[in-house]
Chain A
Amino acid sequence: MSRLWLIPILAGLILISLALGAASLSQDAGWLLMVSRIPRTLAALLAGAGLALAGVVVQQAVQNRLVEPSLTGTPEACMLGLLVVTLIAPGMAVAGKMLVAAASALVGMGGFLMLADRVPRQDPMLLPIVGLVYGGILGAVATWFAWSADLMQYLGIWMLGEFSGVMIGRYEWLWSVALLAGLLYVLADRITLLGLGQTQARALGLDYGQTRALGLVIVAALTALVLVTVGAFPFVGLVAPNLVSRWRGDNLRANLPVVALLGAMLVLGADVIGRVIRYPFEIPAATVFAVLGAGVFLWLLRKAAERAPHG
């Protein structure tokens, strides 16, 4: 299927997003667009693309399509790191926070991989469940931390991704997503090989451990970037890659741009809907997305269950 039909939809969404806001565009439209609308639109696009790409890498690394960063305890690990930073060094610069968040995301994902290597492969649903439990445990630790430090509402803000605070000067870190996406594109073939599993990937000459580690560093960085700037968006990394793989098969090099595009579209769409429902107030984009994403997740689970007996 051609990917070109996505372009007009995306363009339409971008136009709506630019035209839509609590302030009227009648006077100083250019200024308002520069300061508020364009940054917000770009932030949604970049965050969506980044999360979708992170989903692809995780899925290849554990050879399971029903997994994505938010089902591997990664955001919870991120938050745990952020809480510790907030307690120890509340004044730390954003770059420092980002690094800590990425590092803790990496540790959290390492833990998940250790679990994943021990989970039987026959049932594809087992791994996401293990991931949910693992994320739940990390989340419980984070909640306990936040509770005892009176930081529960900070936790709430990180947990709920949204774009109401985005404007010029407050989203620029997300541009690194574009950089990481470029890096992923270069690595696309290797990451495809990852998806074949250790034995086959090795036989094809891939340095399996190194490639997997590199992929996961990218995922950790993507997750941390999005979490720190706009918050957590569950299911984006699951929905976008799965839909694309259903439409277009599994040529990763050809698919990566489409996955990124679809992720960007979905998150921007969720943000637009969240801005419209209670105009001029806002509903967090992550809430809108979670409702839609959960539906798609259930549908994918059912499909996976149907296919499981045939391998």
Chain B
Amino acid sequence: MRKTFLGGLLALALAAPLAAQTVTIDTAIGPVPLAANPQKIAVFDIAALDTLTALGIDVAGVTDKVYLPSLAPVAAKAQVIGTLFEPDFEALVVMQPDLIIAGGRSSTQVAALSEIAPTIDMTIWGAGLLDQARARIAAYGLLFSAQEAAQGLTQTLEAKIAAARAAVAGKGNALILLTNGGKISAYGSQSRFGWLHTEIGLPEAVAGLDDETHGQSVSFEFVAEADPDWLVVVDRGAAIGAQAEAAVATLDNPLIARTAAAQNGRIIYLDATPLYIAGGGANAVMQTLDEIIAAFAAEVEG
């Protein structure tokens, strides 16, 4: 549906070369018309920065921290324009960007940012994360006249997804846990990590978990009772750079040790930053897929 819609837009854009100045791209709040090929871009969303970088698009302004090591070279060339939560409005006014890309943690600032320059909300959130990731890649491709790069990136992504599907097939069910300061919460198929279940085909060890932002607060007994074949662990502390209590220490307890996952060495500690901070960024998604493939491919079927 969305693809045909985008395809239609694409056809329209191509059929009307005189109107090529404006393109309508798909954002988190629906289609938005924008001047094509903006030059000076300020980005307040790590997933967006990640996808733009994957498409080879240069940005002029980034947040003080870009979290992903792979984005450090991009950040080094760009100007700092505040944090994910608090834009530096003065710096932005001086900079006069052609376009501001917000999303996720900065989505609350969209209205304020719009006063300075055209701002789009490219939030990627909740269920259907991979669909949103695909839509963003297509949107940036259209906006920056980089359709070929976007298509190439999408193909690479689809190949990774297929490989991950193959790797997890028939290897048992899994429970996704987020650890945070010694406590744990579980994430279901409708959550922001749910695409591991829905798109990669990893069966859920516990069905029907709600899609709360910070997961369902659960006890270690809950995990012991669910007894998943695999535990997929995201360490929130590691994602935001805090090292107070590592996920490994949190899960090092007798209740977890009794699960099939722990006894068969099937606890996967995913790199938390691409999932938690840059969730839905093209390279970030592929990095997570690589980790999944590596962890599951080592296992023999059964």
Contact = CB atoms under 8 A, between A and B. Distances in A.
A170 B182 CA distance: 10
A167 B216 contact: no
A157 B255 contact: no
B220 A165 contact: yes
Chain B interface, >50% SS class:
mixed
Contacts of A21: 219, 221
B255 A164 contact: no
Interface stretch (A101-109, A188-196, A277-285): A277-285
B183 interface: yes
Contacts of A164: 183-184, 217-220
Size class of the contact patch on chain A: 20 to 34
A100 to B, nearest CB: 14
Task: Name which of A36, A90, A165, A170 has the most chain B CB atoms within 10 A of its CB.
Answer: A165
A154 B245 CA distance: 11
Contact of B217 (A167, A168, A284): A284
Given A167-B253, A169-B253, A281 B218 contact: yes
B242 A154 contact: yes
A165 B225 contact: no
B216 A281 contact: yes
Given A86-B244, A90-B243, A280-B225, A35 B255 contact: yes
B236 interface: yes
B288 to A, nearest CB: 21
A168 B254 contact: yes
A128 B181 CA distance: 31
A280 B218 contact: yes
A35 B241 CA distance: 31
A40 to B, nearest CB: 8
Nearest to A150: B240
B224 interface: yes
Contact of B220 (A36, A91, A281, A283): A36
Contacts of B219: 21-22, 36, 164-165, 282
Contacts of A119: none
B222 interface: yes
Interface string A146-173: 0000110110010000101101111000
Contact of A36 (B180, B216, B221): B221
A23 B218 contact: no
Interface string B49-90: 000000000000000000000000000000000000000000
A22 B236 CA distance: 24
Contact of B225 (A23, A91, A170): A23
Interface of B: 180-184, 214, 216-222, 224-225, 236, 240-244, 250, 253-255
> Which 9 A-B pairs rank lowest in CB-CB distance, beginning with the nearest?
A22-B222, A23-B225, A23-B221, A22-B221, A164-B219, A157-B181, A21-B221, A165-B183, A35-B254
